């Protein structure tokens, strides 16, 4: 089994995926700094391929396969950005992707995945049926399962965003990321702490889906149950591979309400003229509400993506 | 009177405003290139101070004043981005701004102008009353009128965006800009043609407000009459200072429908994750519709701004 990634593994992932992904820009705003009472540096993965950091982990997983493994393709079950990212990464390598999606997934996401040439399987919208169908497809095709977050290669890939951020911005005091299944958070923490013990790593989670916060309180994984938040990329609980990393390297997790998330999202759209999705606004909300104190400090924030249904915005 | 700006005047304007404005990035998208059949480079003035290129012309005008003139302040009548830009530029120099706005101007724009510390005067929503009130304020305060476009210092300031673009991107075949009163278009044309006769300069105008196109056809200025377009920054006809520049330096003007403008705007939002206003989408629509042929060519596009009412988007 592939071991938990250290800094070297994340650096190797960065080398591996470099030909395929964007080195995304870091965006700043004096207005945002003023609101937060410190300096904020947004690592803009909304400008990444497929519109989200998920391209990094998926590409690292796909390009780590041997030719023999690759010939059988890759497989995942996801309704979110990971499905599109894996389909895109598979297409980039020229291999097959089998994607299990719930039958109530938005048409736009279905079409995006099909547009990358993936085979789509529609499951009933339950976790149990999704996993059963994925297992069936795996058996039939021999495709390699690439989990959205509970996978060391995926975690290493996601960590490359923080690696770039620390190369682009000097003297950060802390780095924030949104927390869902913990793949981005774990990769970010491993990259940042691998570079400097002194930089604090803070997670921010929606109040209506605060399973990582609960899990850290309890000292064990609290499974997902009835998540309810506008941040549709953060509906899951941490996995058995991501949770220990959060325990060890994340200094703390703060939670923000949907109202705070929507307000932060709108401030970034209006003042910075960039489109970020609700999940990306979660760590920004942590700063704007002063739940994470930034006075006199410099914070890097991983902006996870920019995939939003423009026909239905949360403030309308 | 200040003469029509040549390349040297635009370069001097660039020096003058450099400490106050952003050198905005150039954004690209493989998807957009694919749709347009060539290479497209967006000069992103939506990321400019006050969210629009208007900051350039206003800053050049404000910082060209003698101390004696500056002591009396500046004045304009505008319902759009120029009002905010002039108020901001005046605040930056620490002088007074008197802004005449129609009483039906959006509250958000009124508040922005007031937020920069300007004195706001509300006029009836007619051109005649707006100008009469502005004249009255001018007499009372002695403030210097800074016209939104029919002003050589403003034109020179607007031309600095193209100057930067040509410094940032080599070997452009053509440069496109939206056309309203012609300040941006004239400044762009003077900058581009001053640098290279070989680069074509193309204007794009909304079909429902195509007064520059009509004026070029007729060989004289066709005054504004019942403009009707979603591109709310382009409702005016060229002025007597901008029109001769369009006649001399702009190779042609193409027109696009509101449907084409809205579609182009949405494509840029969805694919590039940046917020551009309808006026900015006008030249992009010229490319996407192939009304401007880009096959095998490289086009620079001045993206004029990103000030959009997020509560009322044109596709909803």
Are the beta carbons of B274 and A269 separated by less than 8 Å?
no
In order of their start, the domains of chain B are 7-52+151-303 (3.40.50.1100), 55-145 (3.40.50.1100)
Q: Which of A280-294, B95-109, B128-142 is the most confident on average?
A: A280-294
Element (H, E) at A64: helix A54-64
- Residue with the larger pLDDT of the pair A209 and B110: A209
pLDDT grade for A105, boundaries at 50, 70 and 90? confident
What count of Cα atoms within 13 Å lies in the side-chain half-sphere of residue A43? Answer: 29
Q: How far is B32 from chain A (nearest CA, A)?
A: 13
Between strands A74-77 and A200-206, the pairing is unpaired
CA separation for the pair B313, A176 (Å, rounded): 31
The whole-number pLDDT of residue A7 equals 98
Are the beta carbons of A269 and B313 separated by less than 8 Å?
no
Element (H, E) at B211: helix B211-218
Residue B73 pLDDT more than 80? yes
Distances A126 to A110, A130, A132, A225 between C-alpha atoms, Å: 17, 6, 10, 12
The whole-number pLDDT of residue A127 equals 79
Among the partner-chain residues B46, B266, B274, the one whose CB lies closest to the CB of A310 is B266
The whole-number pLDDT of residue A107 equals 81
**Residue of chain A whose alpha carbon sits nearest to that of B274:** A274
How confident is the model over B65-81, as a mean pLDDT?
Answer: 94
Q: How far is B311 from chain A (nearest CA, A)?
A: 6
Are the beta carbons of B270 and A310 separated by less than 8 Å?
yes
Residue B208 pLDDT more than 90? yes
Whether the CB of A313 is below 8 Å from some CB of chain B: the reply is yes
**Residue of chain B whose alpha carbon sits nearest to that of A314:** B311
The whole-number pLDDT of residue A80 equals 83
Whether the CB of B316 is below 8 Å from some CB of chain A: the reply is yes
Of the candidates A2, A23, A77, A35, the one whose C-alpha atom is nearest the C-alpha of residue A294 is A35
Are the beta carbons of B273 and A270 separated by less than 8 Å?
no
Q: Which residue has the tokens 């005046």?
A: B90
B residues 231-270 closer than 8 Å to A (CB): 266, 269-270
Residue A128 pLDDT more than 90? no
CB B26 within 8 Å of CB B286 = no
Q: Provide, as residue numbers in chain B, all residues whose Cβ is less than 8 Å from the Cβ of A273.
A: 46-47, 51, 274-276, 306
Mark whether B109 is an active-site residue: no
Are the beta carbons of B46 and A270 separated by less than 8 Å?
no
Residue A108 pLDDT more than 80? no
Q: Which two tokens stand for residue A36?
A: 């937060």
Q: Provide, as residue numbers in chain B, all residues whose Cβ is less than 8 Å from the Cβ of A275.
A: 269, 273-275
Count of CB atoms situated within 10 Å of the CB of B225: 9
Whether the CB of B30 is below 8 Å from some CB of chain A: the reply is no
pLDDT grade for B171, boundaries at 50, 70 and 90? very high
Residue in B43, B49, B64, B79 annotated catalytic: B79
Residue B108 pLDDT more than 80? no
**Residue of chain A whose alpha carbon sits nearest to that of B50:** A271
**Residue of chain A whose alpha carbon sits nearest to that of B269:** A275
pLDDT grade for A13, boundaries at 50, 70 and 90? very high
How confident is the model over B98-123, as a mean pLDDT?
Answer: 91
Among the partner-chain residues A51, A266, A311, the one whose CB lies closest to the CB of B273 is A51
Question: Mean pLDDT score of chain A, rounded to an integer?
Answer: 96
Order across the sheet with A74-77: list the strands. Answer: A119-123, A97-102, A74-77, A144-145
Are the beta carbons of B274 and A273 separated by less than 8 Å?
yes
Residue A114 pLDDT more than 80? yes
Among the partner-chain residues B25, B273, B311, the one whose CB lies closest to the CB of A275 is B273
How confident is the model over B110-125, as a mean pLDDT?
Answer: 93
Element (H, E) at B114: helix B107-115
pLDDT tens digits along A60-79? 999 999 999 999 999 999 87
Would you call A296 exposed, middle or buried from its count of C-beta atoms within 10 A (0-12, 13-18, 19+)?
Answer: exposed
The whole-number pLDDT of residue B125 equals 83
pLDDT tens digits along A147-174? 999 999 999 999 999 999 999 999 999 9
Among the partner-chain residues B47, B306, B313, the one whose CB lies closest to the CB of A310 is B313
What count of Cα atoms within 13 Å lies in the side-chain half-sphere of residue B191? Answer: 30
User: Which are the contacts of B61, defined by CB distance < 8 A and separation ≥ 6?
Assistant: B74, B86, B89, B146, B151, B153, B154, B157
Please state at what angle helix A7-17 crosses helix A183-195, rounded to 10 degrees: 110
The whole-number pLDDT of residue A79 equals 77
Of the candidates A303, A280, A56, the one whose C-alpha atom is nearest the C-alpha of residue A187 is A56
Q: Which two tokens stand for residue B231?
A: 């591109």
CA separation for the pair A135, A141 (Å, rounded): 10
Q: Provide, as residue numbers in chain A, all residues whose Cβ is less than 8 Å from the Cβ of B20.
A: none
pLDDT tens digits along A226-255? 999 999 999 999 999 999 999 999 999 999
The whole-number pLDDT of residue B285 equals 98
Q: How far is A130 from chain B (nearest CA, A)?
A: 29
Would you call B296 exposed, middle or buried from its count of C-beta atoms within 10 A (0-12, 13-18, 19+)?
Answer: exposed
**Residue of chain A whose alpha carbon sits nearest to that of B307:** A270
Q: How far is A240 from chain B (nearest CA, A)?
A: 34
Are the beta carbons of B310 and A306 separated by less than 8 Å?
no
**Residue of chain A whose alpha carbon sits nearest to that of B26:** A25
Catalytic residues of A: 54, 79
Of the candidates A276, A33, A22, A8, the one whose C-alpha atom is nearest the C-alpha of residue A164 is A22
pLDDT grade for B284, boundaries at 50, 70 and 90? very high
């Amino acid at each position: 089994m592939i071991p938990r990634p250290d800094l070297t593994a994340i650096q190797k992932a960065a080398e591996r995926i470099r030909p395929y992904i964007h080195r995304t820009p870091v965006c700043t705003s004096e207005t945002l700094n003023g609101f937060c009472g410190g300096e904020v540096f947004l690592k803009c993965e909304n400008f990444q391929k497929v519109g989200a950091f998920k391209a990094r982990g998926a590409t690292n997983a796909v390009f780590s396969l041997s030719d023999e493994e690759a010939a059988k393709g890759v497989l995942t079950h996801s309704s979110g950005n990971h499905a599109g990212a894996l389909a895109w990464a598979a297409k980039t390598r020229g291999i097959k992707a089998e994607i299990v999606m719930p039958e109530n997934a938005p048409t736009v996401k279905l079409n995006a995945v099909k547009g990358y040439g993936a085979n789509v399987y529609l499951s009933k919208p339950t976790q149990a049926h999704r996993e059963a169908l994925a297992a069936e497809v795996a058996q039939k095709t021999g495709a390699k399962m690439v989990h959205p977050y509970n996978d060391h290669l995926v975690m290493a890939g996601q960590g490359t965003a923080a690696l770039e951020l620390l190369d682009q911005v000097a003297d950060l005091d802390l780095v924030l990321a949104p927390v869902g299944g913990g793949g981005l958070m774990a990769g970010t923490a491993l990259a940042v702490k691998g570079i400097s013990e002194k930089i604090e790593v803070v997670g921010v989670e929606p109040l209506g889906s605060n399973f990582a916060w609960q899990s850290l309180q309890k000292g064990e994984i609290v499974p997902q149950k009835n998540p309810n938040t506008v941040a549709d990329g953060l509906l899951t609980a941490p996995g058995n591979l991501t949770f220990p990393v959060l325990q060890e390297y994340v200094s703390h997790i703060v939670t923000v309400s949907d109202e705070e998330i929507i307000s932060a999202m709108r401030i970034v759209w209006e003042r910075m003229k960039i489109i970020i999705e609700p999940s990306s606004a979660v760590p920004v909300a942590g700063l704007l509400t002063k739940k994470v104190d930034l006075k006199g400090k410099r914070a890097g924030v991983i902006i996870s993506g920019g995939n939003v249904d423009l026909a239905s915005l949360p403030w309308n």
